[in-house]
Chain A
Amino acid sequence: MHKVIEGLFYQKTDEWLKVEDDTGIIGITDYAQDKLGDIVFLEEAKVGKIVNKGDAVISIESVKAAADIHSPVSGEIIEVNLEVVQNPQIINEDPFGKGWLFKIKIKNKDELKDLMDAKSYSEYRK
């Protein structure tokens, strides 16, 4: 059974979004890290970059596969988790905590209504 955390937003490509005021913290779900297996590379997102909802922002690679990380919302990237860029296996160990990927200044909170809550996401990945 994969872990899903209450209070976060989710999208179909298996990213989670935590909203704190205007800031969104983005990571991948437990399901995604388990599917990928041992993660060995994480591309460093560019601070200051403007992204649109759904954009492939960075790539992530495990031994098995390469995948894109899609931003769940539009906005500006304001911080990158460099510790995870250095040690990507942290994502496997703690995908909802220390394994967060980057922070974004959310442009339009209306976009949140397109995302799933924990219950819908659990259902989707059941």
Chain B
Amino acid sequence: MNQNLKKIPLFNLHEKLGAKFIEFANFLMPIYYTSIKDEHLAVRERVGIFDVSHMGEIRVSGKNAKKFANYILTNNIEKTDYGDVKYTVMLNENGGIVDDLFSYTISDNEILLVVNASNIEKDYNHIKKYLWDNLNLTNESDKIVEFAVQGPKAQELLQNFTNFDLNKIKYFKFDYIDIFDENILISRTGYTGEDGFEIYMNKEIGVKVFNEILNKGKDYDIRVCGLGARDTLRFEVCYWLYGNDIDETINPIESGQKFLVDMNKEDFLGKNSLIKIINEGVKRKFVGIEVVGGIGRHGYKIFDKNKNEVGFISSGNYSFILNKSFSLGYVNLPHGEIGEEVIISDGKREFSGKIIKKPFLKPRVKKED
């Protein structure tokens, strides 16, 4: 086993809870406790709690931190205020995706970025490279633990711990509230396609808070969920997974993430490259595929019905809600029309597939009208 593996702060608790562990982004992470299916269904039907402390937290502070974030990120951060969370990508100068992340606007002078575990150092160095002179950049990932409480009963469960009316925190909003006898950052966000919250706190109180949620959660038949269910849940609603569906060789136009890019902003990192990409037209497209006979997994190839290679699978999984297998992947244009039949192969086995609309399952998050 890799000697450099980091233990997440709650490792011992997870072990006690019966977690099976895997190596992920240099962490030994719980993959499941009961079974991936059991945890998946708990989140769709009731509530689940995920320890996602492996995620990175990078803080930008100092005068005009928000303006800087607006430059380094593609979404419009300039128009945000205290309490706003934005999902965004961060690009390199060629328009490739360095990471996809959440940006929390604490003030004009303070922004908290929540980034993928596998990208913490890369993101930090990337931001550092472009950082304005008067700003501070701190990597707080080792000090902060993050839990995601997700599912239709998530709000009801968490409401037990606070007098603050959680209805006041709308979708993609956050607040610091008094909860668990602490003052904690909580946002109505997630990676499951269900209503739910993500909470951030100093690691010292992590075990206490996790146990409190778990104990009260028994009233709701809660499950502790691992990375396995996190992946099957995000996959069903077609949320991108960095390292699988997107990376630096892919731009947000081909990945279908143009909605995260405000081309009307005066300038942002990667804008010139994106203008060129848009003018020249992209060459491939991110599609959803319904697959018959097996799972078309990351790295499998996509062929048209005449057996010409036309693309690759970026993610594949089985939907426990739809009871079918699906894949996400990239196909070269003009392929990729809805209804097109394709063949998926790992070199040994072949599955038939059909390009269908995304998402496979509609998210049930509480969007404001």
Q: Known contacts A40-B318, A40-B325, A41-B325; is A66 also within 8 Å of B36 by CB?
A: no
A65 to B228 alpha-carbon distance, docked (Å): 12
A99, chain B: closest CB distance, angstroms: 15
Instruction: Mark out the residues of chain B between 9 and 53 whose CB falls within 8 Å of any chain A CB in the assembled complex.
Output: 31-32, 35-37
Contact A63 B317 (CB under 8 A): yes
Instruction: Judge if B256 is at the interface, Cβ distance under 8 Å.
Output: no
Contact A61 B36 (CB under 8 A): no
Q: Which residues of A contact B36 (CB under 8 A)?
A: 37-38, 63-64
Contact A66 B32 (CB under 8 A): no
Contact B32 A40 (CB under 8 A): no
Instruction: Mark out the residues of chain B between 131 and 161 whose CB falls within 8 Å of any chain A CB in the assembled complex.
Output: none
Contact A66 B294 (CB under 8 A): yes
Instruction: Judge if A52 is at the interface, Cβ distance under 8 Å.
Output: no
A1 to B295 alpha-carbon distance, docked (Å): 29
Instruction: Judge if B232 is at the interface, Cβ distance under 8 Å.
Output: yes
Chain A to chain B contacts (Cβ below 8 Å), 18 pairs: A38-B35, A38-B318, A38-B320, A40-B295, A40-B325, A41-B293, A41-B294, A41-B325, A61-B294, A63-B37, A63-B318, A64-B36, A64-B228, A66-B294, A66-B295, A66-B297, A89-B37, A92-B35
Instruction: Judge if B349 is at the interface, Cβ distance under 8 Å.
Output: yes
Contact B35 A59 (CB under 8 A): no
Chain A residues with CB under 8 Å of chain B are 37-38, 40-41, 43, 59, 61, 63-64, 66, 89, 92
Contact flags B278-296 to A (C-beta < 8 A → 1, else 0): 0000000000000001110
Q: Which residues of A contact B295 (CB under 8 A)?
A: 40-41, 61, 63, 66
A20, chain B: closest CB distance, angstroms: 31
Chain B residues with CB under 8 Å of chain A are 31-32, 35-37, 228, 232, 293-295, 297, 317-318, 320, 325, 346, 349
Contact B294 A59 (CB under 8 A): yes
Q: Known contacts A38-B36, A38-B37, A41-B294; is A59 also within 8 Å of B349 by CB?
A: yes
Nearest residue, chain B, Cβ from A59: B349
A63 to B231 alpha-carbon distance, docked (Å): 10
Q: Which residues of A contact B346 (CB under 8 A)?
A: 66
Contact A37 B228 (CB under 8 A): yes
Q: Which residues of A contact B349 (CB under 8 A)?
A: 59, 66
A109 to B126 alpha-carbon distance, docked (Å): 65
Q: Which residues of A contact B320 (CB under 8 A)?
A: 38
* A37-B228, A40-B325 known, 9 other contacts, Cβ within 8 Å: A37-B35, A38-B37, A40-B318, A41-B294, A41-B318, A61-B295, A63-B228, A64-B228, A66-B346
A122 to B293 alpha-carbon distance, docked (Å): 33
A92 to B34 alpha-carbon distance, docked (Å): 12
10 closest A-B pairs by CB: A40-B318, A38-B37, A63-B36, A41-B294, A38-B36, A61-B295, A38-B35, A61-B294, A63-B318, A37-B36
Contact A43 B228 (CB under 8 A): no
Q: Which residues of B contact A61 (CB under 8 A)?
A: 294-295, 318
Q: Which residues of A contact B31 (CB under 8 A)?
A: 64
Contact A63 B232 (CB under 8 A): yes
B29, chain A: closest CB distance, angstroms: 14
A38 to B318 alpha-carbon distance, docked (Å): 10
Nearest residue, chain B, Cβ from A68: B348
Contact B232 A43 (CB under 8 A): no
A33, chain B: closest CB distance, angstroms: 11
Residue of B232, B295, B346 ringed by the most chain A CB atoms within 10 A: B295
Q: Known contacts A63-B37, A63-B228, A63-B318; is A37 also within 8 Å of B32 by CB?
A: yes
B67, chain A: closest CB distance, angstroms: 44
A61 to B317 alpha-carbon distance, docked (Å): 10
A106, chain B: closest CB distance, angstroms: 27
Residue of A37, A40, A61, A89 ringed by the most chain B CB atoms within 10 A: A40
Nearest residue, chain B, Cβ from A89: B37
Q: Which residues of A contact B37 (CB under 8 A)?
A: 38, 63, 89
A38 to B40 alpha-carbon distance, docked (Å): 11
Q: Which residues of B contact A59 (CB under 8 A)?
A: 294, 349
A63 to B228 alpha-carbon distance, docked (Å): 8
A47 to B161 alpha-carbon distance, docked (Å): 60
